[in-house]
């Protein structure tokens, strides 16, 4: 395996170049056509069996090893976010209002690096490796489900994924067996009151006042309705109403997210929200609509594969058991179909000012995290294909 790790180290500057190009040319979920073409072109040059248009803009590429053993899939996501890049650097996004603010450009470049290194050393592989470049992770229903539906996991025995994570310092990696990342649901509440003059509030049903009550009332679901030992989040992300200083708005729209790990709690929160919205609006004489969309399920790592992470990862970097992560990921769908695990690799660096959270307009990574992630991927594949799989 040492030859593979050395090859990754030598390839690292090229991985940085790929990442910076992709960072300058981001594409939103379900629009990753140029990104997919860029990825496919590299994979084809290296002699892999490439399928394009898998489930949308997804790509799969199979590398046949020289020996007999399990087929391992590795996954990266390719989409960007509708955020204006505010970084002052030469690789900032050139697309107005679109930015790689979650590290998917680096995920893609990391997996390209692994594909190139393994394709140059396929005689060392005891089994095949499938590279999954997924579209639309950021936007439900996501690209994982459609790629699975179109055969991305056909013939695959194990699957691994990595997310670079700036809250963790560069040089570290984290994973957890069992529930790891939360189910990520969405909701929309529309309060339908009665508009009128700002100076005559008694003649109106004020949607903003009612919406404000809902913001506060919804927090009691977690603080007073959920066992405090159970992780749960209810967050309002947007509250829109009104157009003028002297007009009481007839309608207010609130959208947000719910994060849970337990399936029963997930449904209980949904029912509590429905009841609370109904009672708050009825009490104030308003009509309403409430839509609740079940998003990605929780990411649940296989216990044996999480142990593999601790064993194989320790050969290449500093690995630690992870806390629960309240962010969501459609990698969950792959783990419903195959044994595997999702891992976090630290990408933050306070000394270099790389401190901004994911989905922030100044988000960036310590690019050495790509080298760490590539080494971790290779170590996981090596461990699995050399007697480490059950």
Residues with active-site annotation: 79, 137
Task: State the residue for tokens 């450009």.
Answer: 105
Q: Do the beta carbons of residue 239 and residue 254 sit within 8 Å?
A: yes
DSSP string, 164-198: EEEEEETTEEEE-SEEEE-EEEEEEEEEE-B-EET
Residue 303 — φ and ψ, nearest 5°?
-65, -40
- For 97: left if phi > 0, alpha if psi spans -120 to 50, otherwise beta; the answer is left
Q: How many CA atoms lie within 13 A of 95 on its CB side?
A: 17
CA angle 174, 180, 182 (to 5 degrees): 130
Alpha helix segments (H runs only) across the chain: 2-24, 33-45, 104-120, 144-149, 207-225, 263-283, 303-313, 332-337, 368-383
Task: State the residue for tokens 């992870």.
Answer: 322
Cα-based distances in Å from 132 to 41, 140, 213, 267, 269: 15, 18, 45, 32, 34
């Amino acid at each position: 395996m040492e030859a593979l790790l050395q090859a990754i180290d030598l390839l690292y500057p090229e991985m940085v170049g790929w990442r910076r190009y992709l960072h300058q040319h981001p594409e939103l979920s379900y629009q990753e056509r140029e990104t997919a073409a860029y990825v496919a072109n590299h994979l084809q040059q290296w002699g892999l069996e490439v399928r394009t248009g898998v489930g949308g803009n997804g790509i799969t590429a199979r590398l046949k090893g020289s020996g007999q053993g399990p087929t391992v899939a590795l996954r990266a996501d390719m989409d960007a976010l509708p955020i204006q890049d505010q970084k002052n650097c030469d690789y900032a996004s050139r697309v107005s209002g679109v930015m790689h603010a979650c590290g998917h450009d680096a995920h893609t470049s990391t997996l390209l690096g692994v594909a190139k290194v393994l394709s140059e050393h396929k005689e060392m592989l005891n089994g095949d490796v499938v590279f999954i470049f997924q579209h639309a992770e950021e936007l439900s229903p996501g690209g994982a489900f459609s790629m699975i539906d179109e055969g991305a996991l056909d013939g695959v025995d194990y699957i691994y994924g990595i997310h670079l994570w700036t809250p963790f310092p560069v040089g570290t990696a984290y994973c957890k067996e069992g529930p790891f990342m939360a189910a990520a649901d969405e909701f929309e509440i529309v309060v339908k009151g009665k508009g009128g003059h700002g100076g005559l509030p008694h003649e109106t049903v004020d949607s903003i006042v009612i919406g404000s009550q809902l913001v506060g009332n919804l927090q009691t679901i977690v603080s007073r309705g959920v066992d405090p030992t159970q992780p749960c989040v209810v967050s309002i992300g947007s509250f829109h109403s009104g157009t003028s200083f002297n007009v009481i708005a007839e309608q207010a729209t609130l959208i947000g997210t719910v994060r849970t790990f337990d399936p029963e709690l997930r449904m209980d929160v949904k029912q509590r929200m429905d009841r609370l919205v109904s009672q708050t609006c009825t009490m104030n004489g308003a009509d309403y609509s409430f839509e609740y969309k079940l998003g990605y399920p929780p990411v649940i790592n296989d216990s044996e594969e999480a142990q593999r992470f601790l064993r194989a990862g320790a050969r290449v970097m500093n690995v630690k058991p992870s806390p629960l992560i309240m962010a969501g990921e459609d990698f969950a769908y792959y783990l419903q179909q195959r044994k595997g695990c999702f891992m976090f690799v630290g990408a933050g660096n306070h000394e270099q000012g790389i401190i901004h959270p994911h989905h922030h307009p100044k988000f960036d990574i310590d690019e050495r995290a790509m080298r760490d992630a590539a080494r971790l991927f290779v170590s996981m594949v090596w461990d699995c294909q050399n007697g480490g799989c059950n």
